[in-house]
A and B are shown apart, each in its own frame.
Chain A
Amino acid sequence: MKYIALIYSNEATDPKPGSEEFGQLISEYQAATQTFVEDGVMVAGDPLESVSNATTLRSRNGNLDVTDGPFAETKEQLGGYYIFECDNLDDAMKYAAMIPTVNYGSIEVRPIMTIEA
């Protein structure tokens, strides 16, 4: 079954590109991704551009409302995700705990719903 690991952290205090910390973080992410691939659990995974690039849409009564920004202002923002193929929640939690951001942000693990044909 598939699980999504949603990666949240505070963009304002995240390591900044160009800094030593950032380089360290990237190599940690590469190592983690490699483990996911080698263990055969990796389905997908990507970082997201900053929430300042987000556009939120809401349509009510046929009127499309477009706002510049995320759907809600939160302390931590969604910054990326992985999708794992795992047998159960224990395995999904084991891999989610390897995502480097777990050490300073939050990882939310959710089962992906299977829609039966």
Chain B
Amino acid sequence: MVSSSPPPINFETGIHALIREEWGYLVSTLYKSIGDFDLVEDSLQDAVEVALGKWKQAGLPKSPKAWLLTTAKRKAIDRIRRDNNFRTKQSEFALLQDQDDDLKEEEFDVPDERLRLMFTCCHPALDDRISVALTLRLLGGLSTKEIARAFLVSVDTMAQRVVRGKRKIKQAAIPYIIPEKSTFPERLSAVLSVLYLIFNEGYSASSGEKHVRGELCNEAIRLTRILEHLCPQEPEVSALLALMLLHDSRKAARFNNGGGFVPMEEQDRKLWDRKLIDEGSKLIETSLAQRKLGPYQLQAAISAVHANARSYEGTDWQEIVLLYDELYNLTKNPVVDLNRIVARSNISSVEEEIDALNALEEQLKDYQPFYAAKADFLVKLSKIIEAKECFQKAIDLSGNDNERDFLAEKVAGINSLQND
């Protein structure tokens, strides 16, 4: 007889996944009453240990979240009492006051404090690298070791960043609040830029051998989904989520079997993930409809035009150039200008755009994609020697092996043309 029992799953793995999923929620709620990240993390770790033992025997409680919160609070009080110098007396007071609420928490959800936690981790007074580390650890539930591996730095370096961030939050009294209206937009954009940094680190991997660190992209998407859920009325948040999904939709096509980088014009569009494209396109449509234009909306809109084009040649370049014009007016960013010129050359010609491109050289002389683009222009203009020089500059500026290999192949391509 065939057994109808469900396939055996590893109980412990399941619990760890559940805890990681709720980690940001748990940390953010506990920090509100405890006010000290070290104590929060330690007490939560204590609670997890108890949970692993207990749940294995008795099964999951009705609300694992509430169970963990209550237990972690008790553990925090134990820890404060054990701490002789009682520096955190106030926290104990607050925690004891909270004890009455425990019963209610079993039945009702406590308010979600993750938005406060995001604003605190991504406070402009913290260095971006520190914000990235704190966000991934406190909200994402990643270990310092995992974050260090993803960012290709030593565990010590990453641990330093976490320690420095926590210390500054405490000693400089970075508040645990949702910023007031007057500063909300700029503070929100600081949060968005940290989330995008995390995504880009996974997507483009500025250094190292493994090009796509999918885990990091997935984590950035997960965190942005949470933010979108907490700020549904902010079109830039939905747009950033859309932008990430649209980029992510191409991940299967961006590398060939040998691991080499494939540029968009050569990608097999059948490999693009339709589900992600549809979700991203819908999101960007609704954000644009709110008529509060911002840079992420324009970038996502550009990405959506690409994602919905049947072929590279069939891309609606007029629309893309229009969107780049808007984006450039908003940001005055030379990299945007570079992309705009390249897009425009698909409508006009490289002959007409080469001067505009050259005008950017001074500003972008350390930017690899500038020389890669210039080299492509020069190839099309049959200026092979100059093109090769540009490719070499691009290779020298390149931060990872995939990019270098891709550019070296292009140089080899021109060499064989020359020999023909």
Q: How far is the CA of A90 from the CA of B184 in the complex (A)?
A: 12
Q: How far is the CA of A93 from the CA of B173 in the complex (A)?
A: 11
> Is the Cβ of B179 less than 8 Å from the Cβ of A90?
yes
Contact residues, A63-91 vs B (CB, 8 A): 87-90
> Is the Cβ of A88 less than 8 Å from the Cβ of B175?
yes
Chain B residues near A90 (CB, 8 Å)? 174-175, 177, 179, 183
Chain A 74-117: CB-based contact to B (< 8 A → 1; otherwise 0) = 00000000000001111001000000000000000011000000
Chain A 43-71: CB-based contact to B (< 8 A → 1; otherwise 0) = 00000000000000000000000000000
> Is the Cβ of A89 less than 8 Å from the Cβ of B179?
no
The chain B residue with its CB closest to the CB of A111 is B172
User: Apart from A87-B175, A89-B123, A90-B174, what are 18 other A-B pairs with CB-CB below 8 Å?
Assistant: A1-B173, A87-B173, A88-B173, A88-B174, A88-B175, A88-B177, A89-B125, A89-B172, A89-B173, A89-B174, A89-B175, A90-B175, A90-B177, A90-B183, A93-B125, A110-B172, A111-B171, A111-B173
10 smallest beta-carbon distances between A and B, as pairs: A88-B175, A88-B173, A111-B172, A89-B172, A89-B174, A90-B175, A89-B173, A1-B173, A111-B171, A89-B125
The contact size tier of chain B is 10 to 19
Could you show 23 A-B contacts with beta carbons less than 8 Å apart?
Answer: A1-B173, A87-B173, A87-B175, A88-B173, A88-B174, A88-B175, A88-B177, A89-B123, A89-B125, A89-B172, A89-B173, A89-B174, A89-B175, A90-B174, A90-B175, A90-B177, A90-B179, A90-B183, A93-B125, A110-B172, A111-B171, A111-B172, A111-B173
Chain B residues near A111 (CB, 8 Å)? 171-173
Once A and B bind, how many residue pairs between them come within 8 Å at the CB atom? 23
Q: How far is the CA of A93 from the CA of B125 in the complex (A)?
A: 9
Contact residues, B168-195 vs A (CB, 8 A): 171-175, 177, 179, 183
Q: Which A residues form the contact surface with B (CB < 8 A)? A: 1, 87-90, 93, 110-111
By DSSP majority rule, is chain A's interface helix, strand, loop, or mixed? mixed
Please give the distance in Å from B182's CB to the nearest CB on chain A: 9
Chain B residues near A89 (CB, 8 Å)? 123, 125, 172-175
In this complex, which of A1, A88, A90, A111 has the most chain B Cβ atoms within 10 angstroms of its Cβ?
Answer: A90
Chain B residues near A88 (CB, 8 Å)? 173-175, 177
Please give the distance in Å from B130's CB to the nearest CB on chain A: 14
Chain A residues near B183 (CB, 8 Å)? 90
The chain A residue with its CB closest to the CB of B182 is A94
The chain A residue with its CB closest to the CB of B124 is A93
Q: How far is the CA of A1 from the CA of B173 in the complex (A)?
A: 8
Chain B 368-381: CB-based contact to A (< 8 A → 1; otherwise 0) = 00000000000000
Q: How far is the CA of A88 from the CA of B125 in the complex (A)?
A: 12
Chain B residues near A1 (CB, 8 Å)? 173
Chain A residues near B125 (CB, 8 Å)? 89, 93
Please give the distance in Å from A83's CB to the nearest CB on chain B: 15
Q: How far is the CA of A93 from the CA of B172 in the complex (A)?
A: 11
Q: How far is the CA of A90 from the CA of B175 in the complex (A)?
A: 7
Chain A residues near B171 (CB, 8 Å)? 111
Please give the distance in Å from A5's CB to the nearest CB on chain B: 13
Please give the distance in Å from A42's CB to the nearest CB on chain B: 18
Q: How far is the CA of A111 from the CA of B167 in the complex (A)?
A: 12
Q: How far is the CA of A74 from the CA of B159 in the complex (A)?
A: 32
Q: How far is the CA of A89 from the CA of B173 in the complex (A)?
A: 6
The chain A residue with its CB closest to the CB of B174 is A89
Q: How far is the CA of A47 from the CA of B173 in the complex (A)?
A: 26
Contact residues, B48-65 vs A (CB, 8 A): none
Chain A residues near B175 (CB, 8 Å)? 87-90
Chain A residues near B123 (CB, 8 Å)? 89
Chain A residues near B172 (CB, 8 Å)? 89, 110-111
Chain A residues near B173 (CB, 8 Å)? 1, 87-89, 111
The chain B residue with its CB closest to the CB of A93 is B125
Chain B residues near A110 (CB, 8 Å)? 172
Please give the distance in Å from A87's CB to the nearest CB on chain B: 7
Please give the distance in Å from B410's CB to the nearest CB on chain A: 43
In this complex, which of A1, A89, A110 has the most chain B Cβ atoms within 10 angstroms of its Cβ?
Answer: A89
Please give the distance in Å from B189's CB to the nearest CB on chain A: 16
Q: How far is the CA of A110 from the CA of B172 in the complex (A)?
A: 7
The chain A residue with its CB closest to the CB of B87 is A116
